[in-house]
């Protein structure tokens, strides 16, 4: 033990900070964002557009920033703050000009849904036989997505679990049953008057379409190979609003890193749609305290759906 505990604590803090910097440099989050950028650039039929940015923030703030807090040479109150959060993140802002939202009137959505139906069916058939990455060798069934473009609402998760792998349909396990109850509650509360909300009128998909072993986070190469199918589905659906369920989906579509809590409560743009972020239903099952924030996010979704 050093004769100067304060100095030793400062040295330890700096060591932890350097370790985090190294992990950040080689971490999955950075790789995932890199893979997301490449995925958005693959496939001529995938939709193109600017990266997601929060509504109402100036265009000058459009660069993703990750700030590392500095550890004091003389640890004291600043050391406690450093221990709570060694780095902070800033999200991207929506530019002052952006294209209009996709429509949500009954006739307009009906026409979009009719045009999207054969496209979604064709993409689903491609997903079912896809062997672009090693996940194909481990799956029981590929999981292409379910629903329609009728409402113009899209929910995006991370990837299939065991039940989804067995049945070939997304969100059919316990987490999926909770998502169904959330959508039903939105419909019963008439959060969007005149728009029926159920598993058939929304679209539910994932960024990868085969189950990763032990439900681990998809690897960057797997995201790069599989996510273009999702981007094509979004392009066909022309959603009014997208809801990312969990951090992995948000990082892909926004093209940036960030804590999920920091991404919530903001509204972004993605390919002519608004986009919000909330907790994955599986996280709500592990921590029931997340259910209230998720319901608040669904109310935000409904308000933004109806606003231009």
Token digits of residue 6 = 């304060």
CATH of 106-306 given 3.30.70.2190, 1.10.760.10, 3.30.420.40, 3.40.470.10: 3.40.470.10
Helix/strand/coil for 274: strand
pLDDT of residue 99: 76
C-beta of residue 164 within 8 angstroms of C-beta of residue 173: yes
Burial of 3 (0-12, 13-18, 19+ CB in 10 A): exposed
Q: What is the mean pLDDT of residues 228-238?
A: 98
- pLDDT at 160 > cutoff 80: yes
Mean pLDDT of 173-196: 97
Q: Could you read off the pLDDT of 295-307 as tens digits, one per residue?
A: 999 999 999 999 9
Q: How far apart are CA 211 and CA 26, in angstroms?
A: 24
Q: How high is the pLDDT of residue 37?
A: 57
**Three-state SS for 51?**
coil
How many percent of the chain have pLDDT more than 70?
69
pLDDT digit string, tens, across residues 51-98: 454 544 433 333 222 222 223 333 333 333 333 332 233 334 455 567
Full-model pTM: 0.74
Report how far residue 86's alpha carbon sits from residue 255's, in angstroms, rounded to the nearest whole number.
22
| pLDDT for 229 | 98
133 has a pLDDT exceeding 90:
yes
In the three-class reduction of DSSP (H, G, I as helix; E, B as strand; rest coil), residue 87 is classed as strand
Ranges of each domain in the chain: 5-90, 106-306
Phi, psi of 209, deg, nearest 5: -115, 5
Instruction: Say if residues 48 and 253 touch (Cβ distance below 8 Å).
Output: no
What pLDDT, on the 0 to 100 scale, is given for residue 38? 57
């Amino acid at each position: 033990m050093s004769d100067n505990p304060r100095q030793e604590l400062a040295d330890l803090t700096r060591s932890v900070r350097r370790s985090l910097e190294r992990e950040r440099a080689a971490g999955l989050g950075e790789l995932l964002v890199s893979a997301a950028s490449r995925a958005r650039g693959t496939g001529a039929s995938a939709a193109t557009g600017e990266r997601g940015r929060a509504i109402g923030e100036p265009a000058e703030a459009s660069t993703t920033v990750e700030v590392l807090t500095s550890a004091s040479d003389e640890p004291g109150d600043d050391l406690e703050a450093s221990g709570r959060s060694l780095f902070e993140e800033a999200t991207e802002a929506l530019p002052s000009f952006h294209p209009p939202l996709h429509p949500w009137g009954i006739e307009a959505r009906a026409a979009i849904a009719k045009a999207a139906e054969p496209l979604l069916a064709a993409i689903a058939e491609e997903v079912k036989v896809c062997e672009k990455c090693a996940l194909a060798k481990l799956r029981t069934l590929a999981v292409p997505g379910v629903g329609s473009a009728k409402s113009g609402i899209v929910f995006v998760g991370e990837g299939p679990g065991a039940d989804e792998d067995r049945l070939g349909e997304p969100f059919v396990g316990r987490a999926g049953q909770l998502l169904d109850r959330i959508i039903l509650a939105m419909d019963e509360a008439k959060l969007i008057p005149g728009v029926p909300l159920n598993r058939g009128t929304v679209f539910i998909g994932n960024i990868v379409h085969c189950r990763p072993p032990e439900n681990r986070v998809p690897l960057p190469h797997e995201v790069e190979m599989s996510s273009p199918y999702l981007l094509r589905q979004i392009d066909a659906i022309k959603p009014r609003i997208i809801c990312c369920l969990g951090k992995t989906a948000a990082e892909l579509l926004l093209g940036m890193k960030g804590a999920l809590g920091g991404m919530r409560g903001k509204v972004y743009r993605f390919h002519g749609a608004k986009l919000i972020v909330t907790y994955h239903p599986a996280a709500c099952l592990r921590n029931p305290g997340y259910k209230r924030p998720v319901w608040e996010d669904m109310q935000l979704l409904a308000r933004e759906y109806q606003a231009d």
